[in-house]
Amino acid sequence: MNKFEESIINLDIEGATNACRELIKSSKASMDVLFKAIGKALDVVGQKYEKGEYFLSELIMAGEVVKEVMKLIEPTYKIDERKAAATVVLATVRGDLHDLGKNIFDMLLQSSGFRVVDLGIDVAAENIVKAVRENNAEILGLSALLTTTVPEFENVVRELKKAGLRHKVKIIVGGAAVNKEVAEKYGADAWGKTAVEGLRICKQWAGLGGS
């Protein structure tokens, strides 16, 4: 298990997949245990990123390592063996076609036990509201890279209120055009400066602690 975690931290795809195969073969690790190990490893990766020891390229590489590991885990265990910490709907708002940060955030959330419904890019407010309702989402993550698309946050909040859903969902926003003042102005509950910080906030909301 230590080798498995260390391989993810060290961005070693071969080491991580080999260790994962051994753990699955030995039947010593349930899906839940494996996901906790992935979460712990990604916490360390996140800490390294925040300290400036790792950069965006390393964060993306960690995501690739986890993707390869997931390919081994998913066919082996039933998804319902693992209860999701919370359901998160993610979307890049209407008019914005950027998704790198959102995709990294998606990877971190899934690896930490969240169920993620990713709506993609250029998503209209009404479609976001529909997804929140249909998935009983507890958290909504909105991304905007362009300053011209940031006002879409307000449209989403307005539509959630109209649908009677605003009080049921926590909203976190992020992206290059976003800061704390923007989040407060448009009615979001939180702003994640980085995907790692966003994960910490979502974990706190889901009662998982903020590590």
pLDDT in tens, 95-134: 999 887 888 888 888 877 889 999 999 999 999 999 999 9
Indicate the angle between helix axes 100-111 and 31-51, nearest 10 degrees.
140
Distances (CA, A) of 54 to 15, 37, 84, 112, 139: 19, 20, 28, 20, 28
Q: Helix, strand, or coil here: 1?
A: coil
Number of CB atoms found within 10 A of residue 84's CB: 16
Is the full-model pTM beyond 0.85?
A: no
Domain boundary among 81, 106, 121: 81
In a domain, 211, yes or no: no
In a domain, 33, yes or no: yes
pLDDT in tens, 19-32: 999 998 887 677 77
- Same structural domain for residues 91 and 49? no
- Same structural domain for residues 134 and 159? yes
Residues 8, 9, 12: CA angle, nearest 5 degrees: 50
Distances (CA, A) of 133 to 23, 84, 103, 129: 38, 17, 22, 6
Higher pLDDT, 80 or 69: 69
Q: Domain of 118?
A: 87-205
- Same structural domain for residues 68 and 102? no
Polymer length in residues for the chain: 211
Structure confidence at residue 211 as a pLDDT band (50, 70, 90): very low
Residue 163 CB contacts under 8 Å (≥ 6 apart), including other chains: 129, 133
pLDDT in tens, 174-198: 988 899 999 999 999 999 988 888 9
Given this model, what pLDDT does residue 78 score?
Answer: 58
What share of the chain in percent tops pLDDT 90?
Answer: 54
Sequential DSSP letters for 18-62: HHHHHHHHHT---HHHHHHHHHHHHHHHHHHHHHTSS-HHHHHHH
What share of the chain in percent tops pLDDT 70?
Answer: 94
